[in-house]
Amino acid sequence: MTLQLEITARDGAARAGTVTTPRGSYQVPTFMPVGTRGAVRTLASSDLEELGVQVVLGNTYHLMLRPGADTVERLGGIHGFAAWDGHVLTDSGGFQVFSLAPRVDDDGVTFRSTYDGSSHRLTPETAVRVQEQLGADIQMALDVCTPLPSTREVIQRDLTRTVAWAERARAAHRRPDQAIFGIVQGGTELDLRAESARRTAAIGFEGYGIGGLSVGEPRHEMLPALEAALAELPDERPRYLMGVGDPVALVEGVARGVDQFDCVLPTRLGRHGTVLTGAGRTQLRRQANAESDQPLDPTCGCAVCARWSRAYLRHLLMVDEPTAARLLTIHNLAWTLALMDQIRAAVIAGSLEQLRAQIAAVWDPPRVEDSRRVV
């Protein structure tokens, strides 16, 4: 195993610790920003360093099409190409591909490029090869991401195929400096989630992604499915809840034993002018911010909040100045990373229950409050 997790603190099912790889180490639980096409949109790798990002996620689907895995490999892999020394995790490409209504068979999946309509094919083996070329520290096995809602028959079929593909990916994996994670599917059927986790764990991966959640199902269905999967995964391996990044899901995921998260939410919201704050989400375009000399969030320690007012940032946003998207992305990422730091510190201090209650009070208030929440 090229990747090791050392758990140094526990609070209930929650864990905090250090993951070590040939590249170095990162602290968990951690939030991984998404660098879709080789960069977190509007940012550079130097910005990520300043923000203290430990792991960035790269999208195999986009990078294999543009500029192509061969090109990235020749230019030093994703680390050399993007001049980034931190950890990189690449997804398998499956999530994007399955959103394009591809042709799937037992051997793999055929899809069309969103760039030029050309036809491409991914199999468990080619997904491993492409990710070897991209050179991430952690790669993901190709899975079949089941859309929700789906019938039990469809979920079972995709689960069986995902397990078969995971076995093939594990067998095809050969780079000793690169870890590979398997992915648990199973929709919101609890027994199928457990079965998927059990069978994927039996193959023996260095970590486990829990995929196919937060795809539109309500939270009261997502969390039991997550628990069913986690109960079957080995304690000493990292667990990664894929595509989830809102404050309640982060703390509830950690409370159940998740170590890693990725999500486009903070960066996407930022580009559209929605700001994450200790008091909840706020839309910067609101007239109330037009002459506000206050920072985005008075409790935030980021470089944007230290320097610029809501009025100035709102002005940039209203005149479509690209700097607005960049600065709001920096704030939202810094805010989310600080939240993860707070969650991690609470696990270490044994005070996660209090933090869960605080986060729920702001981000998940009783239904009657919902209509007054500023979104």
* Footprint on this chain of Zn ion (rule: CB under 5 A): 300, 302, 304-305, 331
Taking the C-alpha atoms of residue 79 and residue 70, their distance in angstroms, rounded to an integer, is 14
Q: How far is the CB of 358 from Zn ion (least distance, A)?
A: 19
Closest to Zn ion by CB, 167 or 341: 341
Taking the C-alpha atoms of residue 328 and residue 286, their distance in angstroms, rounded to an integer, is 15
Q: How far is the CB of 326 from Zn ion (least distance, A)?
A: 13
DSSP class per residue in 73-88: HHTTHHHHHHT--SEE
List the catalytic residue out of 91, 137, 158, 246.
91
Closest to Zn ion by CB, 16 or 305: 305
Give how far Cα 332 sits from Cα of 270, 302, 318, 335, 358, Å: 6, 9, 18, 5, 19
Is 143 marked active-site? no
Here the tokens at position 338 are 């600080």
Q: In what order do the strands lie in the sheet containing 119-122?
A: 103-104, 109-112, 119-122
Q: How far is the CB of 294 from Zn ion (least distance, A)?
A: 12
Q: How far is the CB of 296 from Zn ion (least distance, A)?
A: 5
Cross-strand partners of 109: 104, 122
**Residue showing tokens 């499956």:** 94
Nearest to 54 by CA among 11, 23, 10, 8: 23
List the catalytic residue out of 143, 158, 246, 262.
262
Class of residue 252 by CB neighbours under 10 A (exposed 0-12, middle 13-18, buried 19+): buried
Closest to Zn ion by CB, 134 or 305: 305
Closest to Zn ion by CB, 51 or 63: 51
Q: How far is the CB of 226 from Zn ion (least distance, A)?
A: 29
Closest to Zn ion by CB, 161 or 331: 331
Return the DSSP state at 337: H
Active site residues: 91, 262
